[in-house]
Amino acid sequence: MIPLNLFDFSNRVVWVTGASGGLGKALARRFAQAGAHLALHYRAQVEPVQALQAELSELGCETLAVRGDLTDEDAAEACLQAIWERFGRLDVLVNNAGQYSHAPFLSMSVQDWDQIVQANLRSVFLCTQRFARRAAAQGLAGAVVNIASIEGLTPAFGHAHYSTAKAAVLMATRAAALELGPLGVRVNAVSPGLIWREGLEEDWPAGVESWRKAAPLGRAGQPQEVADAVLFLASDAASWISGANLVV
């Protein structure tokens, strides 16, 4: 018989970075449905997070909104300090915050490169390192799930900076898993393919059609389907999985 509590996150605290976006909201909803309390990070717009907090409160989920630029050391530390002061612990970190832009390699500026690499890689390093330090100091086991991308495995035209950053996230996942495993902290990654959003077909019809022809299931993924994969890797059902990348 399969234990039904493998996906029970009751009394656990989960920090979702980049919680104001579509995937971030789906991640928060799924963990709240599993019983977790949520720290919801945003960088600029608080209104989407406030609306999400109101929604999650109806599930009995206690939430905390934390703001900061997670490429900044002090901001990352301040977010974690606020979480620890509110909840006294943190069990799961989902590194979802990041940025995406399009720029051909030959015309890409150094600023373009640095902005995307820092947003998608530096933030993962800072948050994971500081979370692991605190967890180790308190003797807490923990789980980190990094949101990477299939572009970290196969580059796309005009996305050299993004593809490179996500490839580095995958190696950072493996390296962190190796060093943090003895402390009881597991580190894994999820690499989503094309994720549906409102207006996607209108904004990028050729790309969506190309994806549908190439993808085995013939469609874009839904944000909650990615959230399900993240929930699995953070759960007790994945208690002996670390350093893995799950392509979704």
Residue 72: DSSP 8-state: S
Mean pLDDT throughout 173-178? 98
Residues involved in catalysis: 162
- pLDDT of 29 > 90? The answer is yes
Closest to 142 measured CA to CA, from 151, 155, 133, 150: 133
Q: Where do we find the tokens 């970190």?
A: 93
pLDDT band at 85 (very low <50, low <70, confident <90, very high): very high
- pLDDT of 213 > 90? The answer is no
Q: What is the pLDDT of residue 92?
A: 98
Question: What percentage of the chain has pLDDT greater than the value 90?
Answer: 75
CB burial of 215-247 (b: ≥16 within 10 Å; e: otherwise) equals eeeeebbebeebbbbbbbbbbeebeeebbebbe
Strand order in the sheet with 245-247: 63-67, 37-42, 13-16, 92-95, 142-147, 185-191, 245-247
Closest to 97 measured CA to CA, from 116, 77, 117, 123: 123
pLDDT band at 211 (very low <50, low <70, confident <90, very high): confident
Q: Which has more pLDDT, 203 or 41?
A: 41
| Residue 218 in tokens | 């013939």
Mean pLDDT throughout 174-192? 97
Q: What is the pLDDT of residue 1?
A: 62
Mean pLDDT throughout 25-37? 97
